[in-house]
Amino acid sequence: MKDINKDCVNCPAHNINNLVKLGVDMKNFDFVVALAGNPNVGKSTVFNALTGLKQHTGNWPGKTVGRAEGAFMYNNKRYKIVDLPGTYSLLSTSVDEEIARDFILFGQPDVTIIVVDASTLERNLNLTLQVLEITDRAVLCLNLIDEAERHNLKIDDRLLSKELGIPVIPCAARQGIGIPELLKSIHQVANREFICKPYRMTNTTKNISKAVEDLNDRLKKEFPKLSNTRWIALRLLEGDQSIIDAIKTGEIGNLTIPENEN
Ligand SMILES: Nc1nc2c(ncn2[C@@H]2O[C@H](COP(=O)(O)OP(=O)(O)OP(=O)(O)O)[C@@H](O)[C@H]2O)c(=O)[nH]1
Ligand SMILES: [Mg+2]
């Protein structure tokens, strides 16, 4: 009897009650969700599972080359979801990586799903920690868990969730495993039923903090609509030439994605 219930909870018919794949129907959405992650970790596979669309997937990096958008409805809330090119770092400079970086930083998503490859978790944590520096609302999709298991890797997802301060959901997106749990977490984080406490590095000295605060104030005054000005202030202190140029030309102000485009 117990097994029958378990099968019922995991069967597609049960999930259909909660998830409606809306394809490209992005009207009147309540929340914007971004898919961030290293190349080739299954972001588009998750996107397709949630929207019913058919974004290009395959086993090599660099397939998604622009922003793809779709929608789904879950528990009567409408979500617009944005699939992004893979990126190793928010400091990356290739054109595709910049598209991902700009949306994660300035697109003001309500929830960022960080998709990671469970079989190469450590490498993926670099981007994860960078994303957690700039957002209070994120969910970690611990994807390719089947591959990790095949390599006899066991990940303590509950401990990882505790340490990162965000929900961690083991998934095998290609097989649809973990998608119901992922949806539930996206919903809880978007609706503030789950309050994230993202892991933040705290090794900044007083002088640096003061310089960041000063620059942050000036940036906010100059570009009132720009999000993540603290991140920009840090890059300025590091001497990041592309950011310095974007400020000099005023181009940085264009990175804010207007609300009606969301
Ligand atoms: N075994 C296994 N394969 C998966 C899983 N999720 C995705 N894949 C496969 O992994 C490959 C990469 O998936 P994509 O969805 O294209 O990855 P992506 O992150 O969008 O890749 P880029 O757009 O190139 O950054 C595809 O061959 C998928 O079928 C999973 O959970 N398990
Ligand atoms: Mg992709």
Lowest mean pLDDT among 35-39, 105-109, 142-146: 105-109
Q: What is the pTM of this model?
A: 0.88
Nearest CA residue ID for atom 17, ligand 1: 42
Compute, in angstroms, the gap from residue 5 CA to the centroid of ligand 2.
Answer: 34
Compute, in angstroms, the gap from residue 193 CA to the centroid of ligand 2.
Answer: 29
* CA 86/CA 43 separation, integer angstroms: 8
Nearest CA residue ID for atom 11, ligand 1: 59
How does pLDDT run across 16-50, given as a tens digit for each residue?
558 999 999 888 999 999 999 999 999 999 999 99
Q: Which ligand is nearest to the CA of 61?
A: 1
Does residue 224 carry a pLDDT above 80? yes
Here the tokens at position 102 are 């700009």
Q: Please list the residues that pair with 19 across neighbouring strands.
A: 74
The phi, psi pair for 259, rounded to 5°, reads: -55, -40
- For the complex shown, is ipTM > 0.95? yes
How does pLDDT run across 149-205, given as a tens digit for each residue?
999 999 999 999 999 999 999 999 999 999 999 999 999 999 999 999 999 877 678
Q: Which ligand is nearest to the CA of 42?
A: 1
Nearest CA residue ID for atom 15, ligand 1: 42
Indicate whether residue 61 lines ligand 1 (CB < 6 A): yes
What are the distances in angstroms from CA 140 to CA 72, 77, 89, 92, 167?
19, 21, 16, 21, 6
**Candidate from 174, 175, 181 with most ligand 1 atoms within 8 A of CB, to mutate:** 174
pLDDT, residue 2, reads 46
Q: How confident is the model at residue 253 (pLDDT cuts 50, 70, 90)?
A: confident
Let me know: does 215 contact 234? Beta carbons within 8 Å. no
Q: How confident is the model at residue 10 (pLDDT cuts 50, 70, 90)?
A: very low
Nearest CA residue ID for atom 9, ligand 1: 42
pLDDT, residue 260, reads 47
* CA 75/CA 78 separation, integer angstroms: 8
Compute, in angstroms, the gap from residue 40 CA to the centroid of ligand 2.
Answer: 7
Nearest CA residue ID for atom 31, ligand 1: 172
